[in-house]
Chain A
């Protein structure tokens, strides 16, 4: 049972436009959400996170939005750059639990 879902395996966006990556979750105990970015032949690296007490968190070109009632979060990248081409994993945790639950990933390709 996939508790964290990324329904789009891939996404292509023109350079300079907005990239929107989506993530849905089913476990209402999750109260902290993270996005990791992964380049080929490298391990994932932390990108941005959001607590369930917020509905938005911003870090430079990256913004994560959380809609708790819909159990949905999204990552916005504005403007998209070629270096943003990577696989993006959504992850979720409940406070006090050591484990992260990851989604299946979305491959983002930025077209120059």
Chain B
């Protein structure tokens, strides 16, 4: 299916465990983004990527690691999950990276850290 997909959709893990959230897009968009959505904070940018092997920090990068070896995939890893990382995570992509370009969002992953 064309579009942007995220897996898993729901994940429960324990404090200290490593978790990887997957994001895949079929449009060959250059830019990809990871956001987290929390009540009272809206959507906050964690990391973004301009192309394969090019990544940069967003507003709240601490505790997260990203990689982008292929244009279509942009996994987000929590190396040692903490309760404060309980959130809904959204991946997005855009054709070019300008703020004026529409970002297309995946359906989200709800992560609970116990």
Q: Which residues of A line the B interface, CB within 8 A?
A: 4, 6, 32, 34, 36, 41-46, 49, 51, 89, 91-100, 102-105
Contact = CB atoms under 8 A, between A and B. Distances in A.
A98 B43 contact: no
Interface residues of B, number: 25
Contacts of B106: 43
A103 B43 CA distance: 7
Given A32-B99, A46-B104, A103-B42, 15 more contacts: A34-B102, A41-B107, A42-B108, A43-B4, A43-B92, A43-B108, A49-B100, A92-B99, A96-B98, A97-B99, A99-B45, A100-B45, A102-B42, A104-B41, A104-B42
B103 A42 contact: no
Contacts of A97: 98-99
Nearest to B97: A98
A24 B106 CA distance: 27
A42 B98 contact: no
Contact of B99 (A43, A89, A94): A94
Given A44-B90, A95-B100, A99-B99, A89 B107 contact: no
B48 A98 contact: yes
Nearest to B45: A99
B108 A98 contact: no
